[in-house]
Structures are given as structure tokens and as C-alpha cells.
């Protein structure tokens, strides 16, 4: 049954101004009705000062928040100047009561100010709280008594919060609602009278607080203490205003309803001496756009609400004085979205939905449907009973994709300004949206445009996006769609999120512009770099980011490191990175010729190390294979610049050595074969040498595996090779054969079906079978005997390999 929390007569809190008292207005953050009623109160009282719960050192940002052109949701962010960066966020939506207070103050010439603890203190206090949590996890080595005490403390804390949660749910249950969120909406958001709202919210919070306060002090002393400090500071701020001679009835204080009873003047404010003792960590403040998605994903009191777009709709209706329109607005929004997706729903269904929602509300004795009623009505009338049909339309209507906007000239960190400038310059502003959007870039010069700037616009864009990626700002992420995409094309996915903005603000500590910050990030990584491959990557990164000076530094570092480089794989990788740079450097309009001597040096060193490095285990061989491939690619791409002869000589040496990893020798031989450096005769000779009867199976078959890893057509076009393989396999003892199977299966496993068919054909020819016979044999299903034989292989002992 619908019944509000009972209120005992004579127990009412003093909330309205009255003689010598300030006006306290308790709100739930992000509550349209709260904002609406607050405005009514402000219009009545006409205060000269409006005090709002929020960091008092950010008061100067209030006028910016309510400036023309600012589109909520926006957030005030405080961050520490030192690493690790700690941040505090205060989001505001258009329907936040606090935001309404700013707007009213700006329009009516009143002073608006924040009165909560300054951010440099609260960030420190929050840190204490977090540390207390960590201590519990870290204390595993601590002695048992201490550990037990901590466990107990944690347990009682958990119990306390469970109880708190249960209490709220109990209220909802008593009122016959499904959950507290529904209770809240039905009883507060849709209740039309300001005095009633103000009185009930204060009463509810006060009684809740009285019920829980003592328990909180015991279960979570830190939280309770922080709350105490905050309130006594707020009292101090209020008393400062009073001391300055502002009459109390001209002051309106807007805080979370929970704090109203702590501010009613019966308790003493914090003294200036006490304030001086509080710990501080220097912070800076800035404004940033926020998104409804982010608001909706942070549930919990004050931090967000689950359906911001719906609440905005409600706020719009409230301002027009037409809250009755909300159900039809919500449902027609959903019908519209459904139609956009191609599911047709009629207006008649929307009307039925509104009627159903209203009837559902009337079952609870109210005439305004709440979100839950509307959702159920949408499922029943528009989804034909299936939630999944309307789910996406619902999310779009309730949460939406809106993000806030701050116009130029609104104070932000230099790096935020810089990004906005860059986005504007490169015509990327429209990509700053909550919906992920694809962006294709063509780095080549565009000859059809007039100005030089436009000709290289895509290149500039690429540089900016690379810099953001380097800084860890998740605004842009690069996608590789096809492996054969040309080097001049890049594919990016752009999506703006509040997290990206926070990451950006955090990089402000690295530099005032994106370019400086990116350069700083590269230098930071260079300073800790001890690996050739990593250094080469940094050279390439600086080139991608258009940071020529950094590239030179990275090059120097790479050279220094390469002198002592002994690792073939790392050197090969470094050479590969540089080769790519030299090859495509002109595309990025960077002079890469300076890299050539270094590339030659790296290549030469790597080539000389090849044979030694190839004496490795099978596990390491896999890495070696890709390194050899990389180095070979370099030798092909840069054959004018590097010493190809040395490379060939080394490959040949590796191919002919018997004491190196057989797979690598096979691979080296395959490369030589590909380059036509081996005569038919030499090839036959080598194959028969490698696959002669006396050679152990793992060596022979392993060599063949390496051979088959490269160009298979070179193998398929040489029947003699297959004859040799055939006779080799036939010569094997049963035990040897079983061993070689593992390698052979691995090498043929990578063949494509048509290549396998070609092998079968070759072997068929060798054995004198006709093409049709062998096709038939391949298509035939396995016989039972064959299946048993294959199943027996499941028990094969791989222990030796």
C-alpha cells in the first residue's frame, strides 16, 4: 500500500529559514523534482547567497559551469599535481539541483559558492579510506591476532552496509514497491508540492541517519569521521558567511539530504585551527564534458542514476509544467526507435501502452506512471511480451548517447584546449561523440586540394591519433582490417568517453600540449629502455607521432644498444622496424635516410649471428623462424642498401650445417631454393642427404617441416623431391616411422586442402595410380580398421619430444 514514512508530531526538523536560520534544502543529487522545487524555493526566498555542496576551492568554476553555451552533462574534476594522479569527479546533469542553483544564481545576480571540503583535503581523506581497505588485503603476513581483528572489522563493515541496503529496500517493500529506486521515483519525483518534497526528504534522511549513525561509527569509523569533518567544514563555511554580515534568511544551502541534520546550526563549526591541521595534497581543478552513459553506469546514491535520458525528459516536462506528457513521450520515443530499426509499431499501440502504464500506476494509488510502469507497458504493448524486442530502444531512450559540451573560452586544462583546437583544425570535431565511428585515412598527398594544409590533412590526423594512442588516451584505437592493406591507409575507430577525457587530463602532467606530452612519454620510455627491439619500436613510434627530435634521440639510443646486442631475434626485429620506416618514411614526410647506416649495421650484425643462434631447441626455433623471416624480408626490401651477400652466405651455411636445429636448416634451405640459388642437382643431393635412411626421424622429418614452411609451390613443382621423401619414409623402421609421423603431420597440417590434394596426386603418380583412382581413395570414408588405427594414436607418448 502506498504510505509514506510515518512522521511523529513534534519531532519535525527545523529546515525553513525562520528566525536567524539559514534555509537548508536537502536534495538527492540528480533529481529533476529536486531541481524544480529548489527553483521554486529560490524564487520565493530570493537569497543573495546560494551555497552548494561541492569542493570550496572550485567556487570560481561555478560561473563557467552556468555560462552560455555549456551543455550538461559536464563534470568538475579535481586532480593531484603529483604522480600517481588521483582524481575526484563531480558530475552535473541539466536536472541536477546543484546545477539549477548555479543557473538561478547567475540569472538573478546572487553569489553561488561551494562549501564542502576543498579538493586538496578531500582527495587526501579519500586516500586514507582507500589505504584502510588495502591494508586488509596486504596484511596476509601480519600476525594472526591482528589479522583476525581486521577480518572482524571488515565483516562488521560488510554487515553494516548490508543492513543499510536492507533498510532502504524495506521502505520500498512497505510502500509496496519493487525496489527503492521505484519508491523514490513514485514518492518524490512525481510529488508536486515543494514544501512536501522538502519536508519528506529531510525527514526520511534524518530518520535513516538516526537509525544508522551509531552503527556506522562502529562499523566504518573512517567513513563516519570523514563525514563529520565534511559537515563541520560546511558549518564553518556557513558561519563565515554569517560573520560577514549576510542575514541568514538571505542564505540558501543546497546539500545532499543526508547532511541537512548535520548543518542545522545546533552543532559548532570547525575552528580555523582545526582546519589548518587537516592534511592536504595539492590539486588542480578543471571542467570536462561528461556522458549519460557514464552517469548511468555509476549506480549508487549521488554518483549517478540508471536512466539519465529519461530523467532529462522528465525535467523538460516539469519545466513546461506538463509532467503528464512524460508517459506518451517515453513510449513514442521507443516506438520511433523501433521503427528506425525496421520494426513497425502503430500509434495505437503507443496509446494502449500509455493507458496500461497509467492503470499500473493507479493500482498503486498514484496517477503518474513511473519508469518501471512504463517499461512494463512497453514490453507488453510494443514488444508483444518479449523484452528483447524493445531492449535496445529502451536503452537508447533511457540512457541515450548524449555527451556534454564546453564552448571555447571555458576554462579547461591546456591539453584539453589543445585537443579541441587540433580536432577543429583537422575537422575531426564531429567524431567527438559517444558512438564509435570509423575513420579511414589516406596518408598520401591529396593533389586535388588547393592548400598545402589540406593536402596532408589525413597525415596530420594520423599523427594526432598516434600521439593520443601513445599517451594512453582511449579516444582513438587503430584497427587492422586486412593484412594486405596498403601502407598508406590507416583505419581508426574513434569514440569519446569521459574516461578518455580523464586520461587526457592526466597527461597534462606530461606536457601542456599533446605534442609535448607525447614527446615526454617517448623520452620517459627511452630512459628505461634496455632492449634493441624496444628502442627500434620507439624510433618507429616517434616517426608515427611526427616527433623528429625524439626520433633522433631514439635512434642514438638504438645505436648505443645495438653495439652490445647479442640476440639475433631482437636485432632482426629492430632491423625489420627500421626497414619498414626507411621504406615508408617518405609517406610520413620524415627524413629517414639518417637511419640507413644504422639499419645496415643492425642487419650485418644480425646476419653474422644467425648460424650461432640457430643452434637452439625446438621451442626457441619458432621465434627464430619469424626472426629469420623478418630479416629476409629486410634483405629483399632493402637489397640496394644492405649487404645481401653476407646474408646469403650465412643462410647457405645454416642450410648445409648438420649440427644446427634441423627445422631452421630446412627453412634456410627453402629460402635459398626460393631465390633460385640452388641448382636442381644440388637440391636433389641435399634432399637425399637429409632424408637418408640412417638419419633419425626427428631430424629428417624436422628438416622437411622447415622446408615446407615457405613457398610450397617450389616444392610441389619438384617431383624428384617427393620421390626422395617417399623412399625415405618407406625405409624407416616402424618405431622410427611413428616418431617421424609427429613432424610430418605438423608440416602437412599447415597445407591448404588443394595443396594436400596436389601432394596426393604427386604420390599417386609415383605409385602408378591414375588421377581418378586416387581421388576416389581420398573421398572414401575411413574404414573401421583405419579408424581404430587412428584412435590408437591418441595414446601416443609424446614424452620423448
- Contact between 332 and another protein by CB under 8 A: the answer reads no
- Contact between 386 and another protein by CB under 8 A: the answer reads yes
∠ CA 365-366-369, rounded to 5°: 130
- Contact between 429 and another protein by CB under 8 A: the answer reads no
* Residue 177 Cβ vs another protein, minimum distance, rounded to whole Å: 11
Specify the residue, 283 or 349, whose C-beta has the smaller distance to another protein: 349
Specify the residue, 376 or 755, whose C-beta has the smaller distance to another protein: 376
Only one of the segments 20-28, 117-125, 356-364, 688-696 lies at the binding site for another protein (rule: CB under 8 A); that segment is 356-364
Q: Strand 476-479's sheet: what is its strand order?
A: 437-442, 489-494, 476-479
Q: Which residue carries 540569472 as its cell?
A: 107
Q: Supply the DSSP symbol for 477.
A: E
Q: Judged by CB under 8 A, how many residues of this single chain contact another protein? A: 17
Q: Report phi then psi at 4, rounded to 5.
A: -80, 165
- Contact between 348 and another protein by CB under 8 A: the answer reads yes
The answer to whether 54 and 76 have CB atoms below 8 angstroms apart is: yes
In 10 A of CB 17, how many CB atoms? 20
CA distance 609 to 702: 22
**Cell triple for residue 352?**
494502449
Q: Supply the DSSP symbol for 379.
A: I
Residues 546-575 that bind another protein (CB under 8 A): none
Q: Contacting another protein (CB under 8 A), which of 228, 376, 552, 637?
A: 376
Q: 108: closest CA among 54, 39, 58, 55?
A: 39
Task: Work out the end-to-end distance of the chain between its first and last CA atoms, rounded to an integer number of angstroms.
Answer: 75
- Contact between 182 and another protein by CB under 8 A: the answer reads no
* Residue 322 Cβ vs another protein, minimum distance, rounded to whole Å: 22
Q: What is the sign of the dihedral through the CA atoms of 629, 631, 633 and 639?
A: negative
- Contact between 777 and another protein by CB under 8 A: the answer reads no
Q: Contacting another protein (CB under 8 A), which of 9, 342, 385, 694?
A: 385
* Residue 801 Cβ vs another protein, minimum distance, rounded to whole Å: 33
Only one of the segments 383-391, 428-436, 609-617, 623-631 lies at the binding site for another protein (rule: CB under 8 A); that segment is 383-391
CA distance 369 to 281: 47
Q: Contacting another protein (CB under 8 A), which of 7, 107, 363, 391?
A: 363
- Contact between 178 and another protein by CB under 8 A: the answer reads yes
* Residue 383 Cβ vs another protein, minimum distance, rounded to whole Å: 8
Q: Contacting another protein (CB under 8 A), which of 360, 518, 610, 628?
A: 360
CA distance 465 to 494: 9
**Cell triple for residue 268?**
559548532
* Residue 350 Cβ vs another protein, minimum distance, rounded to whole Å: 11
In 10 A of CB 135, how many CB atoms? 11
Specify the residue, 354 or 459, whose C-beta has the smaller distance to another protein: 354
Specify the residue, 186 or 510, whose C-beta has the smaller distance to another protein: 186
**Cell triple for residue 48?**
543573495
The answer to whether 78 and 88 have CB atoms below 8 angstroms apart is: yes
The answer to whether 705 and 663 have CB atoms below 8 angstroms apart is: yes
- Contact between 356 and another protein by CB under 8 A: the answer reads yes
CA distance 109 to 150: 53
Q: Contacting another protein (CB under 8 A), which of 381, 397, 573, 740?
A: 381
Specify the residue, 326 or 691, whose C-beta has the smaller distance to another protein: 326
Specify the residue, 364 or 629, whose C-beta has the smaller distance to another protein: 364
**Cell triple for residue 270?**
570547525
- Contact between 391 and another protein by CB under 8 A: the answer reads no
- Contact between 342 and another protein by CB under 8 A: the answer reads no
Q: Contacting another protein (CB under 8 A), which of 218, 355, 424, 689?
A: 355
Specify the residue, 254 or 356, whose C-beta has the smaller distance to another protein: 356
Rounded (10°) CA dihedral 531, 536, 540, 541: 10
Cα dist from 583 to 488, 588, 616, 641, whole Å: 12, 11, 32, 11
Cα dist from 559 to 201, 532, 553, 554, 671, whole Å: 69, 8, 10, 9, 29
- Contact between 352 and another protein by CB under 8 A: the answer reads yes
* Residue 393 Cβ vs another protein, minimum distance, rounded to whole Å: 17
Only one of the segments 34-42, 203-211, 355-363, 722-730 lies at the binding site for another protein (rule: CB under 8 A); that segment is 355-363
H helical segments located in 370-513 = 371-377, 387-398, 414-425, 452-455, 457-470, 498-506
Specify the residue, 291 or 381, whose C-beta has the smaller distance to another protein: 381
Specify the residue, 169 or 442, whose C-beta has the smaller distance to another protein: 169
Specify the residue, 346 or 770, whose C-beta has the smaller distance to another protein: 346
Specify the residue, 353 or 400, whose C-beta has the smaller distance to another protein: 353
Specify the residue, 346 or 586, whose C-beta has the smaller distance to another protein: 346
The answer to whether 418 and 512 have CB atoms below 8 angstroms apart is: yes
Element containing residue 479 per DSSP (H, E): strand 476-479
Only one of the segments 288-296, 312-320, 349-357, 712-720 lies at the binding site for another protein (rule: CB under 8 A); that segment is 349-357
* Residue 338 Cβ vs another protein, minimum distance, rounded to whole Å: 13
Residue ranges that bind another protein, judged by CB under 8 A: 178, 346, 348-349, 352, 355-356, 359-360, 363, 376, 380-381, 383-386
Amino acid at each position: 500500500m502506498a504510505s509514506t514514512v510515518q512522521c511523529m508530531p513534534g519531532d519535525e526538523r527545523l529546515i525553513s529559514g525562520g528566525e536567524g536560520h539559514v534555509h537548508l534544502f536537502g536534495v538527492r543529487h540528480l533529481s529533476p523534482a529536486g531541481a524544480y522545487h529548489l527553483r521554486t524555493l529560490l524564487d520565493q526566498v530570493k537569497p543573495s547567497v546560494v551555497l552548494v555542496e561541492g569542493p570550496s576551492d572550485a567556487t570560481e568554476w561555478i560561473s563557467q559551469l552556468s555560462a552560455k553555451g555549456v551543455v550538461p552533462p559536464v563534470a568538475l574534476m579535481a586532480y593531484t599535481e603529483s604522480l600517481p594522479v588521483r582524481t575526484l569527479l563531480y558530475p552535473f546533469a541539466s536536472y541536477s539541483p546543484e546545477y539549477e542553483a548555479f543557473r538561478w544564481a547567475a540569472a538573478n545576480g546572487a553569489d553561488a559558492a561551494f562549501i564542502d571540503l576543498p579538493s586538496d583535503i578531500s582527495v587526501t581523506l579519500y586516500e586514507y579510506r582507500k589505504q584502510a581497505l588495502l591494508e586488509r588485503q596486504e596484511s596476509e603476513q601480519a600476525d594472526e591476532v591482528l589479522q583476525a581483528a581486521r577480518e572482524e572489522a571488515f565483516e562488521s563493515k560488510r554487515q553494516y552496509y548490508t543492513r543499510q541496503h536492507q533498510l532502504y529496500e524495506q521502505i520500498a517493500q512497505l510502500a509496496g514497491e519493487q525496489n527503492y529506486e521505484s519508491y523514490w521515483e513514485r514518492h518524490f519525483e512525481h510529488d508536486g508540492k515543494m514544501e512536501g518534497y522538502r519536508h519528506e526528504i529531510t525527514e526520511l534522511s534524518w530518520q535513516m541517519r538516526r537509525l544508522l549513525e551509531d552503527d556506522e561509527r562502529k562499523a566504518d569509523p573512517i567513513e563516519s569521521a570523514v563525514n563529520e569533518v565534511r559537515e563541520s567544514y560546511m558549518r564553518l563555511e556557513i558561519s563565515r558567511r554569517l560573520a560577514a554580515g549576510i542575514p541568514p534568511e538571505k542564505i540558501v544551502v543546497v546539500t545532499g539530504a543526508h547532511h541537512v541534520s548535520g548543518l542545522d546550526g545546533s552543532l559548532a563549526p570547525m575552528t580555523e585551527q582545526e582546519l589548518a591541521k587537516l592534511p592536504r595534497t595539492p590539486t588542480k581543478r578543471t571542467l570536462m564534458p561528461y556522458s549519460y552513459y557514464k552517469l548511468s553506469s555509476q549506480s549508487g546514491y549521488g554518483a549517478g542514476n540508471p536512466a539519465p535520458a529519461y530523467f532529462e525528459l522528465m525535467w523538460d516536462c516539469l519545466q513546461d509544467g506538463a509532467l503528464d506528457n512524460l508517459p506518451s513521450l517515453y513510449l513514442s520515443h521507443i516506438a520511433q526507435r523501433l521503427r528506425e530499426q525496421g520494426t513497425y509499431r502503430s500509434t495505437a499501440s503507443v496509446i494502449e501502452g500509455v493507458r496500461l502504464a497509467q492503470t499500473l500506476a493507479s493500482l498503486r494509488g498514484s496517477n503518474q506512471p513511473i519508469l518501471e510502469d512504463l517499461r512494463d507497458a512497453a514490453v507488453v504493448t510494443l514488444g508483444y511480451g518479449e523484452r528483447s524486442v524493445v531492449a535496445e530502444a529502451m536503452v537508447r531512450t533511457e540512457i541515450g548517447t548524449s555527451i556534454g559540451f564546453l564552448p571555447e573560452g571555458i576554462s579547461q586544462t591546456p591539453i584539453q584546449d589543445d585537443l579541441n583546437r587540433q580536432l577543429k583544425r583537422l575537422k575531426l570535431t564531429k567524431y567527438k561523440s559517444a558512438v564509435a565511428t570509423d575513420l579511414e585515412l589516406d596518408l598520401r598527398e591529396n593533389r586535388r586540394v588547393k592548400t598545402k594544409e589540406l593536402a596532408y590533412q589525413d597525415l596530420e590526423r594520423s599523427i594526432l591519433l598516434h600521439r593520443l594512442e601513445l599517451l594512453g588516451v582511449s579516444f582513438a584505437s587503430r584497427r587492422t582490417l586486412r593484412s594486405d592493406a596498403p601502407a598508406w591507409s590507416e583505419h581508426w575507430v574513434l569514440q569519446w568517453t569521459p574516461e578518455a577525457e580523464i586520461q587526457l587530463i592526466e597527461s597534462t602532467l606530461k606536457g601542456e600540449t599533446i605534442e609535448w606530452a607525447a614527446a615526454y612519454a617517448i623520452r620517459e620510455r627511452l630512459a628505461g629502455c634496455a632492449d634493441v627491439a624496444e628502442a627500434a619500436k620507439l624510433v618507429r613510434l616517434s616517426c608515427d607521432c611526427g616527433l623528429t627530435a625524439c626520433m633522433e634521440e631514439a635512434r642514438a639510443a638504438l645505436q648505443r644498444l645495438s653495439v652490445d646486442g647479442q640476440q639475433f631475434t631482437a636485432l632482426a626485429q629492430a632491423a625489420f622496424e627500421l626497414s619498414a620506416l626507411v621504406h615508408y618514411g617518405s609517406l610520413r614526410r620524415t627524413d629517414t635516410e639518417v637511419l640507413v647506416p644504422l639499419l645496415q649495421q643492425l642487419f650485418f650484425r644480425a646476419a653474422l649471428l644467425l648460424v650461432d643462434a640457430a643452434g637452439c631447441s625446438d621451442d626457441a626455433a619458432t621465434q627464430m623462424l619469424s626472426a629469420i623471416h623478418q630479416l629476409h624480408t629486410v634483405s629483399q626490401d632493402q637489397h640496394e642498401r644492405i649487404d645481401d651477400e653476407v646474408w646469403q652466405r650465412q643462410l647457405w651455411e645454416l642450410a648445409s650445417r648438420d649440427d644446427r636445429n634441423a627445422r631452421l636448416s630446412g627453412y634456410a634451405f627453402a629460402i635459398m631454393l626460393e631465390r633460385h640459388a640452388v641448382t636442381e642437382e644440388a637440391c636433389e643431393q641435399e634432399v637425399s642427404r637429409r632424408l637418408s635412411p640412417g638419419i633419425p626421424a626427428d631430424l629428417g622429418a624436422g628438416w622437411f617441416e622447415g622446408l615446407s614452411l615457405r613457398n610450397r609451390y617450389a616444392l610441389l613443382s619438384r617431383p624428384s623431391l617427393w620421390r626422395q621423401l617417399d623412399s625415405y619414409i618407406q625405409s624407416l623402421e616402424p618405431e622410427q616411422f611413428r616418431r617421424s609421423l609427429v613432424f610430418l603431420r605438423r608440416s602437412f597440417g599447415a597445407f591448404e586442402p588443394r595443396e594436400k590434394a596436389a601432394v596426393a596426386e604427386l604420390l599417386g603418380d609415383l605409385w602408378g595410380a591414375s588421377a581418378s583412382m586416387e581421388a576416389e581413395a581420398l573421398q572414401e570414408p575411413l574404414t573401421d580398421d583405419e579408424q581404430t588405427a587412428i584412435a590408437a594414436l591418441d595414446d601416443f607418448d609424446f614424452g620423448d619430444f
